[in-house]
Amino acid sequence: MIHLKDMKNLQKGFVVPLLIAIIAVLVVGGGVYVYSNKKSEVPAVDVGTQQADKNQQVVNQQNSINKKPTNVVNATKSSALTFTASSTLPNAKVGDNYRASLGVSIINPAGPDYFPWSRNIEVSVLSGTLPPGLYISDFRNDSDYGEIITGKPNVAGTYTFTLSASYTGLQTIQKQFTLTVSSATSTNPSLKVLSPNGGEVWKTGQTYTIAWQTNNIALLSSYSGVTIDLTNESDHRVLQIVPESSQLSFSTTSYRWVIPSSIPAGNYKVMVTLNSKMDSSVYNFSNSFFTITSR
């Protein structure tokens, strides 16, 4: 049997260890709690510094986008826009492909000339007209670029026109140019009577020069020679001045003719013919009638 006194002693013996255990748990739990709180702490944020960092990132990205090749010189007001091409452009020919550089460039005092990409420069006709068939264009390949006049002209003549060029940040400039377009080169021989060519008065018994002009003479070797005929107002042959039996060399361009007294007075033309060995002959008449009179 357990007495009351013994029960009290037992309670004391049980309570003390229990209290010690509870205190230990609280201490340990508090330590874990404190450790946990320390682990979850967030450092204080400086809002101003964070915004400045973001702004700098945006600036860096923009600079990267706008970065230009190392050979590009920025166009400033101290730079000068200019046409370097001569005011007399290279000649063109009807039907032939044509291309001439206008030499639009930016001269920078701080460095070498910089020929900017064509898309940055605007070139237009200020006055006058370009030869029909030609136009202004941007040209670019792996090693060259710039503004050019190009195309295939179709009307001969000499053309004078003024071009203007503009570039962002620089003054607009202008320059007058001249471009000559020559006629197409014929690949066939041609002949033209020069004298008598209309209006002359020649007398029988006198000596006169019948003259003509040939083109592409290098191709005339396919022709056997030249004959000359006198025709009347009805284009009927009156006289063979130089018959085929005694025709002149194909390279001859004149003939001294003594007008026979048997030629009736009247109005006439001469016809000069290049006689072909194989194909059709080439011939030409005086443009208008000339007059033959008796002595």
Question: Number of structural domains, the chain?
Answer: 2
Inter-residue contact 206 to 197 (CB < 8 Å)? no
Q: Which of 60, 64, 62 is nearest to 52 (CA)?
A: 60
Domain holding 197, by residue range, is 190-293
Query: How far apart are alpha carbons 118 and 130 in whole angstroms?
Result: 20
Q: Is the pLDDT of residue 35 over 60?
A: no
CA distances from 215 to 191, 260, 275, 286 (A): 7, 31, 15, 17
Q: Is the pLDDT of residue 52 over 60?
A: no
Q: Supply the pLDDT for residue 133.
A: 94
Residues 172 and 195 in one domain: no
Average pLDDT taken over every residue of the chain: 75
Distance of CA 136 to the CA centre of its chain: 6
Which tokens hold the place of 129?
Answer: 């007209």
Residue 14 domain-assigned (yes or no): no
Give ∠ CA 78-82-83 in degrees, rounded to 5.
Answer: 175
pLDDT above 90 covers a percentage of the chain that reads 37
Residue 23 domain-assigned (yes or no): no
Q: Supply the pLDDT for residue 228.
A: 95
Using the 3D structure, point to which of 127, 160, 182 is the last residue of a domain: 182
Band the pLDDT of 34: cuts 50, 70, 90.
very low
Q: Which residues of 46-57 are buried (b: 16+ CB within 10 A; e: fewer)?
A: eeeeeeeeeeee
How large is the average pLDDT for residues 198-212? 96
Residues 164 and 225 in one domain: no
Band the pLDDT of 16: cuts 50, 70, 90.
low
Residue 263 domain-assigned (yes or no): yes
Q: Give the containing element (helix H, strand E) for 25.
A: helix 4-39
Residue 35 domain-assigned (yes or no): no
Residue 246 domain-assigned (yes or no): yes
Q: Supply the pLDDT for residue 293.
A: 94
Residues 102 and 163 in one domain: yes
Residue 64 domain-assigned (yes or no): no
Of 2-11, 99-108, 167-176, minimum mean pLDDT range: 2-11
Q: Is the pLDDT of residue 46 over 90?
A: no
How large is the average pLDDT for residues 199-222? 85
Residue 227 domain-assigned (yes or no): yes
**105-125 pLDDT, tens digit each:** 776 655 544 444 444 678 999
Q: Supply the pLDDT for residue 256.
A: 97
Residue 209 domain-assigned (yes or no): yes
Band the pLDDT of 77: cuts 50, 70, 90.
very low
Which tokens hold the place of 124?
Answer: 């237009």
In the chain, how many H helices and how many E strands? 2, 18
Q: Is the pLDDT of residue 270 over 60?
A: yes
**142-200 pLDDT, tens digit each:** 444 678 899 999 999 999 999 998 887 677 899 999 999 998 766 667 889 999 999 99
CATH of the domain at 125: 2.60.40.10
Q: Supply the pLDDT for residue 67.
A: 41
**What are the DSSP calls for 165-234, one per residue?**
EEETTS--EEEEEEEEEEPPPPSS-EEEEEES-SS-EEETT-EEEEEEEEE-GGGGGGEEEEEEEEE-TT
Band the pLDDT of 53: cuts 50, 70, 90.
low
Query: How far apart are alpha carbons 293 and 266 in whole angstroms?
Result: 7
